Amino acid sequence: MTVAIVLLAAYVLDRLIGDPRSLPHPVVLMGKAISALERAIRRFVRKPRSLKRAGVLLPLLVAGGSWLVTAVLLWLLSQISPWLALAAEAWLISTTIASKGLKDAGMAVYAELKKGDLPAARLALGMIVGRDTAQLDSPEIVRGTVETVAENIVDAIISPLLYALLGGAPLAMAYRAVNTLDSMVGYKNDKYINLGWASARLDDVANYIPARITALLLTLSAWLLRLDWRRCWQMVRRDARLHPSPNSGYPESAVAGALGIRLGGVNVYHGVASFRAYMGEPLRSLEPDDIIVTSRLMLLSSAIFVVLCAAAAFLWNGG
């Protein structure tokens, strides 16, 4: 019962308050730790082969350290009061979820598009994507926003909730550390191809099952929202594996199918064009309202999943 309550409380906390800037956020501390470790490693390790070996050490230290610090903190709080520990655990899990932040980021782009302010919409999109946005027109801004919201359903909501179910706040925090590592060092460029390979691979493994669960949840949500759930599932089966990421194609193809749009295409990163496989079929042109529908799919699928997690926790512990 307590696990179910903690999961529900964590999700509600995130939906209500998100990540207020006035409160310290664990991901900020993780980022500082990763940067410090990277500097230390590069100070003593320079050869490519040695950097590749050190790349294994990085996720072990960061993810393992995040798990250990969280577990010790909760144990210390439980010695003061079990209720204090439960409250802290709910808050810690809520910091690994970003449903409100994801919705707010998407709606910030939508608001500027509805006002017809393309420069402001490009700027808002640039806050949440790595691609160049300065030359994008309205449909491409919508595409970038929809792709980002869809992709992040996995690592910003479903994955942390699943790991919180399996191992409480310590495992959810370890997952968030893995995801933060991937976002900071998991690149296939000259700087990180050796040091970041293990972090990128671990992130792929951690999100493998959650991504496929997300595709199922989005299909169910599409049915509940009276969208094209059949095409949603059809596009998952047809297009998900075409994405360069082993996981991102599942939510993106599901959303593309449900909305009857095509995602993917040419993205520009630091002036260099890169083609990403198409997801879905262009039954119609992209419109700003697609951001709203994608947000609804995200919120409904995440609400369904947290209820399923709470029910599983309740039954797991004997009701």
**147-176: pLDDT as tens digits:** 999 999 999 999 999 999 999 999 999 999
Boundaries of every domain in the chain: 2-316
Dihedral pair phi/psi, residue 228, rounded to 5°: -80, 85
How large is the average pLDDT for residues 179-208?
92
DSSP reduced 3-state for 266: strand
Count H helices, E strands: the chain?
12, 2
User: If you average pLDDT over every residue of the chain, what do you get?
Assistant: 94
Residue whose pair of structure tokens reads 């926790």 in the numeric block: 313
- Chain position carrying tokens 């512990």: 317
Question: What is the percent of the chain with per-residue pLDDT over 70, rounded to a whole number?
Answer: 99
Ramachandran assignment for 312, one of left (phi > 0), alpha (psi -120 to 50 degrees), beta (any other): alpha
Beta bridge partners of 279: 263
The confidence band for 20, taking pLDDT boundaries of 50, 70 and 90, is confident
pLDDT digits (tens, 9 = 90+) for 77-105: 999 999 999 999 999 999 999 999 999 99
Does residue 268 surpass a pLDDT of 90? yes
Residue type, 11: Y
pLDDT at 249 over 70: yes
Q: Which of 95-104, 113-122, 165-174, 188-197 has the lowest mean pLDDT?
A: 188-197
Model pTM? 0.94
C-alpha 90/C-alpha 79 separation (Å) is 17
Give the model's confidence band at 318: pLDDT under 50 very low, under 70 low, under 90 confident, else very high.
low
Cα–Cα distance, 130 to 305 (Å, whole number): 28
What confidence category does residue 227 fall into, taking pLDDT thresholds of 50, 70 and 90? very high
Confidence band for 188, pLDDT divided at 50, 70 and 90: confident
